Amino acid sequence: MLKLRDNEWGFDISLDNPFRIFRVLREFAVTAIGEENIVDLSRGDPGYGFSPSVKGREFYSFLLEIDTIFNHPGEHFVSDNRDDFDTLWKKIQDHANKTYNAQKADKLIEDFYFFLTRIEKYAKEQGLNWDKKKIVFEMFKYCALSGGSYLDPQGETLVRAVVANHYNEKYHLGIDYKDLIFLQGVSHGIGVVFQLFNDPKIDFLKKGDTVMITSPVYSPYNTIMQNRGLVPYAIPVNPATGMVEGDIDELLKAAPANTKLICLIDPNNPTGFTCDEEFLKKIAAFAKERNALIVSDEVYGDFFFERKHVIMHYAPERTIMIGGRSKIERSTGLRFGEFIVQKEAQKYIAENILKGKLDQAPDFMSLLIFAKGPGGDIRGEFQHVTFVTGPSQYLGVAHMIFGEDDRNEYLRRIRVSMESFYEILGLPYNKNLYYACFDLMDIPGNTRKGMKPEELFVGLAKKGVVLIPANLFFSEKERESKDCRMIARASLPNLTFSNLQRAAKLIKEYMTS
């Protein structure tokens, strides 16, 4: 078993990275009851309890088949095909009719035409004069959707148009495909932000500068700041309600003068709550007063369908949003995320926040593209690569366009699961989604007071329940003022409804026995 600390448990909740601790806990669980019997709530990955869109996968499979019709050893679509759209369309129909029964073929043909019509609409709205022949060309040139070629470093234009449309429909942001840069998941984007702004030639964040962030927060943010010599200034949030603890005006007023960056995780990981509109307005006003940059991690935004306002509405000129397809499409393995930067922000950040210090980059978007390559530098050694593969981009688009029914059912089941989990534990449920962040000591009837926190989490693991300790999700100041070592984060989409109920019952039984 991998040990992080040389003690009887193999880890220390006060010191060790929680994303390494949960692997130790899994080993305890596997040894005790076998992997097939574990109920794992430690990972922020829905793939264990939910599968990606069936319609999206079926349609993408058909696209792959058509790719073999247009691209094979005897024909290369770009150089050998001069057919008009009607001829291409007949080839697609002929393949469907030859390969499938009449009902299935008709459905695939209908879906394909619907797909083309949707893309044509999105392209037109974003200033692209693309007809259906052009769309087919963009999809099948160089076997892009099969992984046959390097792609546009910013992301395929067709795919960016679809993602931009998604944000416009949900939030009415008025962006287009030029305002997006694709990333290998949201974690890639988080790393790029700090690598870029901490670079000495960019000279924006320096050792000792302050970054405002909430507490609790996704713990890698705390680790990144510690590793780069940045000082977090935490806004404390109640993990059970999502509300700021204290007077927000006083907390903002007390922020150090060198607060240059504000990191929002909205909706929050690990609490599962969104920021309310009043909080966003106050953060925006503070950022303008201090001329601070805002980075908003919004990978969970699609889980709150009633959510209409984001920080970009109140501070569009200084906000970099990071989003992704992974969670809502149950496809974390796609590694398909994006930066969203509105045009006024592209200009304002370059001229007024970075003050023209873009080093080799001609503009701010190019700077982000340069910085997202691997290595310790931001000079664009790998600026020719997207880092999101063609299969990931096009499968993601297939999920977006054809996955609505599956998404709605997914969201319904998550809401039911959340309510049931809290009800079984006997804790109040306050409409958070995806994550539950709770103190194990608050479970009614608790008999485990006095146990070491490591012993508590190991005991649960040996019963088959793996939770992630949330201690290091909290700021150092909060950890000094209260004991956070018994607080757990549970990822509720990680299990089917029946297994989630089983997990909650096992937690309740263990904590009250």
Q: What pLDDT sits at residue 115? A: 98
Domain assignment present for residue 236? The answer is: yes
Burial status of residue 82 (CB atoms within 10 A of its CB: 0-12, 13-18, 19 or more): exposed
Same domain? For 245 and 334 the reply is: yes
Q: Please report whether residue 382 resides in a domain.
A: yes
476 phi, psi to nearest 5 deg: -60, -40
The amino acid at residue 182 is F
* Secondary structure of residue 319 in the 3-state scheme: strand
Please check whether residues 87 and 117 belong to one and the same domain.
yes
Q: What Rg value do the Cα atoms of the chain yield, rounded? A: 24
Residues 58 and 37 in one domain: no
User: What's the domain count of the chain?
Assistant: 3
pTM of the complete model? 0.95
Chain CA centroid to CA 375, Å? 22
Q: What is the CATH number of the domain that holds 418?
A: 3.90.1150.10
Examine residue 11 and state whether it is found in any structural domain, yes or no: no
Same domain, 208 and 351: yes
The answer to whether 216 touches 474, Cβ cutoff 8 Å, is: yes
AA identity, residue 317:
E
Between CA 140 and CA 70 the distance in angstroms is 7
Residue 114 located in a structural domain? yes
DSSP, collapsed to helix, strand or coil, labels residue 210 as strand
Tens-binned pLDDT, residue by residue, of the chain (513 aa): 566 888 889 999 999 999 999 999 999 999 999 999 999 999 988 988 899 999 999 999 999 999 999 999 999 999 887 889 999 999 999 999 999 999 999 999 999 999 999 999 999 999 999 999 999 999 999 999 999 999 999 999 999 999 999 999 999 999 999 999 999 999 999 999 999 999 998 989 999 999 999 999 999 999 999 999 999 999 999 999 999 999 999 999 999 999 999 999 999 999 999 999 999 999 999 999 999 999 999 999 999 988 989 999 999 999 999 999 889 999 999 999 999 999 999 999 999 999 988 877 899 999 999 999 887 677 777 877 889 999 999 999 999 999 999 999 999 999 999 999 999 999 999 999 999 999 999 999 999 999 999 999 999 999 999 999 999 999 999 999 999 999 999 999 989 999 999 999 999 999 999
Last residue of a domain, one of 93, 115, 149: 149
Query: Same domain, yes or no, for 127 and 191?
Result: no
* Long-range contacts, 171-176 (Cβ 8 Å, 24+): 171/308, 171/309, 171/310, 171/312, 171/313, 173/312, 173/313, 173/340, 173/342, 174/342, 175/340, 175/342, 176/126, 176/127
Q: Say if residue 362 is exposed, middle or buried (CB neighbours under 10 Å; 0-12, 13-18, 19+).
A: exposed
* 112, 356 contact by CB (below 8 A): no
Do both 244 and 358 map to the same domain? yes
Q: CATH no. for residue 244?
A: 3.40.640.10
Judgement on whether residues 232 and 347 belong to the same structural domain of the protein? yes
468 phi and psi angles, rounded to 5 deg = -100, 125
Most distant pair of Cα atoms in the chain: their distance: 76
Same domain, 427 and 457: yes
CA distances from 151 to 76, 128, 334, 390 (A): 17, 19, 16, 7
Write down which residue in 360, 388, 416 finishes a domain.
Answer: 388
DSSP 16: S
Residue where one domain finishes, among candidates 127, 149, 171? 149
Residue 229 lies in a domain: yes
| 333 shares a domain with 253 | yes
Domain-embedded: residue 2: no
Measured distance between the N- and C-terminal CA atoms of the chain, rounded to whole angstroms: 28
Question: Is residue 259 in a domain?
Answer: yes
- Rounded Cα distance between 268 and 213, Å, is 11
Say yes or no: 411 and 380 in one domain: no
> Is residue 346 located within the same domain as residue 495?
no
Q: Is the residue at 10 inside a domain?
A: no
Single-letter amino acid code for the residue at 63: L
Q: Could you tell me if 96 and 45 lie in one domain? A: no
Closest by alpha carbon to 47, among 329, 435, 421?
329
pLDDT of residue 1: 55
Asked if 320 and 290 count as a contact pair (C-beta separation under 8 A), the reply is no
pLDDT at 24 (0 to 100) = 94
Grouping H, G, I as helix, E, B as strand and the rest as coil, residue 287 is helix
Domain of residue 97 covers 54-149
pLDDT computed for residue 306 by the predictor:
87
Residue 383 amino acid letter: Q
